[in-house]
Structure 1
Amino acid sequence: MLDLIIIGAGPIGIACGLRAQKEGLNFVIVEKGCLVNSLFNYPSTMTFFSTSEKLEIGGVPFVTINNKPNRAEALEYYRRVATSHNLPVKLFEAVQSITAEGGIYTVTSIKAVYQAKNVIIATGFYDVAVTLDIPGEDLSKVKHYYKDPHYFAMQKVVVVGSSNSAIDVALETHRKGAEVTLVIRGEEVSNRVKYWVRPDIVNRIKEGSIKAYFNSNLKAIREYEVDIETPEGVVTVSNDFVMAMTGYKPNFELLKKWGLNLSENKFIPQYNPETMETNLSGLYLAGVVCGGLDTHLWFIENSRVHAEMILDDIVSKR
């Protein structure tokens, strides 16, 4: 019998594990993919908005020579934190079910069955892409995840969205020789775009090297072209790839299956903001998963504290 099961080995799941270890709890961290799986799936060239000290967990310094760390540095940092502390992490072990009986949770993964008095769900939000729900979205040329700009060299690329991920894709593929067309639902590039990147994309649009359609939506996708609904009417553009950078969301069906109450509008899970305990006694939420569809509410830097809040509550009940 364990004291605690942590589902998700991202930065916040690892932070929870560090605090649990400090308290002498018997626990395990179960992760469906690799260590910090979401960060691994970030673009290879990605640079964080946050400075390194705001990404630190467990009081372990994150040392970097850059003002803002990149993906590779973050992967190395969190790996070294997990291995140097010998955290009991079970990787590539997707959780299939969570059931409760007599105050004990049974967590069944594809490899094992665990039992504990407490469970923390720290599964993030990067696993389910927000779809466009338009004809042709199922074509192989449509991508919701982006890794490296070289793949799109000398191709005609339509990028949907105006947040950081979309703008990074547009600029990076453009600089590798792609012919880039941006489709933006609003009237301008999002103000959430990194402050050192936004002037770059605005100037590229102004000079015409990147074509942008504002107040527009992608209407249909075909093998070699797309239709864009603009204020002036439908425009057909020849196309090789569509990068639908429309955001991501937690696996709400899984959360409901596990018994969590979700709000009807934005699917925000019910939890106590002082302890992070959900409607199920002994089951807690940590990290970005707490925001429901509002995935911009929580980041590593402002949800690290969830580990302390949760473990304070668990320890107080021992």
Structure 2
Amino acid sequence: MREVTERCGEFLERWKIAPHTLDMEECCHLFMEEMERGLATKEGSSLAMIPTYTKADNLITPGEKVIVLDAGGTNFRTCLISFDENMGVKIEAFTKRGMPGVKSEVSAKEFFSILADQVEPLIEQSDRIGFCFSYAAEINEELDGVPIVFSKEIKAPEVIGMPVGRSLLNELAGQGYDVGKKRVAVVIDTVSTLLAGKVATGVSPYSDYIGFILGTGTNTAYVEKNSKIGKLANLADGSQIINVESGGFYLVPGGLDRRFMDTTKHPDNYHFEKMISGAYLGAFSQVVVEQAIEEKLLSKEFKAKFEQIKPLNTTRMSHY
């Protein structure tokens, strides 16, 4: 048994999968450097550090209904949300369907048509639409979002570079709806998480808030002073939420990580996300298991049974 344990330990260490093979202090130092570089310039950092023009101290009007859309890594959700005087949340007319572009590639027309079909039953309920968009997007001063890249293996290349709020309203207008007074505010899921945490705690002793996502993908958001955002000129005093896009952090510690990333849709993007998030853990585990089989760490019987359950996914891995 000791020999098996030692061989497994050597395997994990050689392929830099064992926890102690990662220098956490050095990793954090590199991460902070990338953050500072990303705030200073629009190019040259693996962390996009995207300004969102969203403040963390906006007030909520009790009783006002807002149409809420959530484009996640797996599903697209819609509902109506309002808050009472005590900031208790009320969720109505909740629906969910698969995210377009997960199973097969879709055109921009198909993408926004699917979204509009889900929004249509709610469109007369409010002029305010909050769109939680779980992908890297440049947010402009009108709070519309322009996708930079689709992670999580979403296949909708024509949508890249299109303002998602305006494009959705255009699709609804094409279906005959008056969208002249409708306003869409696009925020990513990580920013939404930060704002939800602030609402949930109410009046609290906390000096600030962080949004952190670890699910199908991973990301981080925090509040930064405008004076430190060097890549944007003429910002007013104050602060805003920064979308770090932390899943993009360039970190490839081992050969198996590199081998796996080369099988993904965008091999050179979102290294950190591909190392820790749910969309990729199952497929990466398959690469590790196949290497262990090749090195005869696992038996012939295991190999035969493993062939029957491939391709490995995160859902199956969670059973173990």
TM range (shorter): under 0.3
- TM-score with structure 2 setting the length: 0.26
User: How high is the TM-score relative to the length of structure 1?
Assistant: 0.26
> Bigger relative contact order, structure 1 or 2, given CA contacts below 8 A and separation 6+?
1
Report which of the two has the higher share of helix: 2
